Amino acid sequence: MMKSNRASLVLFFVLAFLLPWIVWGTTIAQNRGILSFHIPQSLAFWVGLTVATFGTAALSGGTDALKDLLLRMVRVAVHPVWYIAALLLMPALAGIAIAVGAVSGTTYEFPARVTIGGVAGTLLFQWFFFLVTEETAWRGFALPRLQKRLSAGSAALLLGVIWGLWHLPLVFVAESFQSQIPFFGFLLAAVAMSVLTSFIFNNSRGSVFVAALFHAATDTTIGLSAVMTSGTTLFWIFVIVLLVAALLVWLVAGAKTLARGRDIAAARYCGAGSGLRLTGGTRTTAGSTASSSSAMR
């Protein structure tokens, strides 16, 4: 079992890149006539990323690390304001970008008729998808360990770059979202999104459940509004809006915690032997117990 936080992060990132990239690589190879088959792309998430996350957790921290991940996935006892923020922040930012585009003369036409049932169905599926795959990986495993070594702001920036670059092979997959937009802009958006997601994650006591809702609301908004695929001008306006929002969070919430000075112990990983163990909503240290059930923010 690995005792080093750095070693566990290195192993996780190696596997998180290697396994999904192998899956996406078969599609790229087939498109170029190198292979006659490809592995279904969705397995990069459902299998590749999940194996990297839970496999590294098991190897590096055993039962305690796996329990930490699972508790974060079901950490629902969070102040309602963070559910509202997770659900409505991205639609608001997309609306601002579209409004700025309209004022500047950018032509925009809402791409499709949207029904409440359709939006709800898409959102719920995406919520489950990101809960099981990406958010448990990036926010559930990686971010708490990065925040053990770095300030929350630095951890969010570093993870944002890594997260953005992780999508690089999809640029070469013709039908992918990333192949339709400037990748540098996507990378900037990923960094901004990482700061915003870390802000929500840290304020929701390290809840992957809430972070997954934010990711789901983001992808649902972008997909239904086509704010990133309705022309280059609107794309860049939206990226700038995301960057401005991330900067405001950075300045207002503070780079140290991205939580306005609140204790973010629950959003950091405290592995076996650290003297601190998370059990449900309670934080236990050697000789003292502090309930965090009343610290929902």
Query: Tens digit of pLDDT for each residue in 160-170?
Result: 999 999 999 99
Find the mean pLDDT for residues 274-297. 37
pLDDT at 257 over 50: yes
In a domain, 296, yes or no: no
Q: What is the DSSP string of 241-285?
A: HHHHHHHHHHHHH-TTTSSTT---GGGS---TTSSEEEETTEEEE
Is residue 164 assigned to a domain?
yes
Q: In which domain, by residue range, is 257 found?
A: 5-291
> How many domains does the chain divide into?
1
Residue 20 within a domain: yes
Each residue's pLDDT tens digit, 208-241? 999 999 999 999 999 999 999 999 999 999 999 9
Q: Angle at CA 179, nearest 5°, toward 176 and 185?
A: 120
Strand partners, 283: 278, 290
What pLDDT is recorded for position 2? 60
Question: Identity (one letter) of the amino acid at 10?
Answer: V
pTM score of the predicted model: 0.90
CA 17 to CA 175: how far, in whole Å?
20
Identify the three-state secondary structure at position 150.
Answer: coil
Tell me the three-class secondary structure of 48-96, residue by residue.
Answer: HHHHHHHHHHHHHHHHHHHHHHHHHHCCCCCCHHHHHHHHHHHHHHHHH
Instruction: Please say whether the beta carbons of 289 and 278 come within 8 A.
Output: no
Whether 277 is covered by a domain: the verdict is: yes
pLDDT above 80 (res 294):
no
Question: Does residue 198 form part of some domain?
Answer: yes
What are the structure tokens assigned to 208, written together?
């992957």
Average pLDDT over residues 254-274: 83
Q: Which residues pair with 199 in a beta bridge?
A: none
**In this structure, is residue 191 part of a structural domain?**
yes
Specify the higher pLDDT residue, 108 or 12.
Answer: 12
| pLDDT the model gives residue 263 | 85
